[in-house]
Amino acid sequence: MPRPATRGVATPQTLRGMKDILPSEQKYWLHVRDAAEPLAAAYGYDRIDTPILEETGLFVRSVGKQTDIVEKEMFSFIDAGGENVSLRPEATASIVRSYINHGMFNQPQPVKLFYWGPMFRHERPQSGRFREFHQFGFEVLGDKHPVLDAEIILIAHLFFKELGIKTAVQINSLGCPTCRPTYLAELTNYYRAKRSQLCENCKRRLLKNPLRVLDCKEAGCAALKDGAPQIVDSLCEECKNHFMRVLEYLDEIQVPYVLNPHLVRGLDYYTKTVFEIWPADETESSQSALGGGGRYDGLVEVLGGRPTPACGFAIGIERAILQLKSANIEPSVRNKPDIFMAQLGDVARRKVVPLFEELRKAGINVASSFSKDSLKSQLEIANRLGSRYTLIIGQKEVLDGTVLIRDMEAGMQEIVDYNRAVGEMKKKLGRP
């Protein structure tokens, strides 16, 4: 309910399942970005940004008609021009569309792309799960070599290792259009004999897309998974060899993993390798996976492009941050100011502002609170920010043409000429 504000006017609130990312939270987001972006650079992934709003058909064709995302979770509407559009529920489909639209198949292959941004799903909000959430991801298009499957799993593993979060990789193979039909027939027969124990959604899905039954989170359906046929027993030679080579690469680069024969992911476009990243110390639950991905060799063709092998993964940023907090990992404050500028009165303020700008142009990280006049309150801010030095200008300093330099750690003070302040601070900070 909106809370009443001044004179009985209701104050608008954030929508259910959406939240503000406040200044006090930004250190976690910067910490996650600082772990992800160097990995993208090191492994040769270029940043790409795609629109938040896309044609609804893009996701129906790629994610799958019988998935929870398309059936129940998309924010879709008819726009003013009569076009059916949706807020993106995931990014891979948009990346593939962009790959096709911009003729990236003409570039040297594989094309490696990295993204970061908000996604939207109309689901029940709970811990680590929001209607607006953020993901970053890595996608490789144009190469079928199993070493790339291992590479993306390695990057996901290294990301959490960089954060200090212990994780476990669950992995499976979903086969290909050649061998999957045999498995689907076995799976359908298994569940048909237990149809009365399935939820209504799964009874319907069993006829159209039986693989989705393995992804159901309803207690009754989930309990039946243990006895279900395993797809690894139905893999063709090509898929079996591909999967074994992925596992061999993971063994070689020492990425620990657990085989999960019923892992299918919640998207229809996956083929061959699929994987998820889980907290190492948690049992499986509907919201515990921190991220995941796999190979999607048929998706480019499904969306109108030429046959193109591809693989990738996405990490939930809010879930990663939740793990940081659960592990009591406190990110260090980024970019502490070297200098805080303090002034006493309006005349001094006129001297502080241009000196602030000179220091900034000299490449010195400087902070200030220009509206303050109380020295006590300004020193409190300087301490809170962790600045090494505070430069103080009061009425006496204005008259003398000087600046008072205070070393915040040692408590020592010295006076320098106003015009020499920038050079003096560069020397103290060891700057050229």
Looking at the fold, whether 266 and 413 belong to one and the same domain comes out as no
> Would residue 204 count as lying in a domain?
no
> Would residue 387 count as lying in a domain?
yes
Of 26-35, 69-78, 268-277, 308-317, the poorest mean pLDDT is in 69-78
Q: Which of 326, 357, 387 is the last residue of a domain?
A: 326
As a residue count, the chain comes to: 432
> Would residue 224 count as lying in a domain?
no
CATH of the domain at 360: 3.40.50.800
Looking at the fold, whether 38 and 132 belong to one and the same domain comes out as yes
- pLDDT of residue 307 exceeding 90, the answer is yes
> Would residue 127 count as lying in a domain?
yes
Strand partners, 84: 78
| C-alpha–C-alpha distance, residues 4 and 229, integer Å | 57
- pLDDT interval class at 208 (50, 70, 90): confident
Q: Which pair of structure tokens corresponds to residue 407?
A: 């070393």
> Would residue 202 count as lying in a domain?
no
Looking at the fold, whether 320 and 387 belong to one and the same domain comes out as no
Looking at the fold, whether 287 and 394 belong to one and the same domain comes out as no
Of 91-100, 211-220, 307-316, 370-379, the poorest mean pLDDT is in 211-220
Q: Which of 295, 326, 357 is the last residue of a domain?
A: 326
Based on its alpha-carbon atoms, the radius of gyration of the chain, rounded to whole angstroms, reads 28
pLDDT value of position 334: 67
Looking at the fold, whether 40 and 118 belong to one and the same domain comes out as yes
CATH of the domain at 36: 3.30.930.10
Q: Is 329 exposed, middle or buried (0-12, 13-18, 19+ CB in 10 A)?
A: middle
Q: Which of 326, 354, 383 is the last residue of a domain?
A: 326
Q: Which pair of structure tokens corresponds to residue 168?
A: 């476990």
For the chain, what is the domain count? 2
Look up the domain containing 129 and give its range.
17-179+235-326
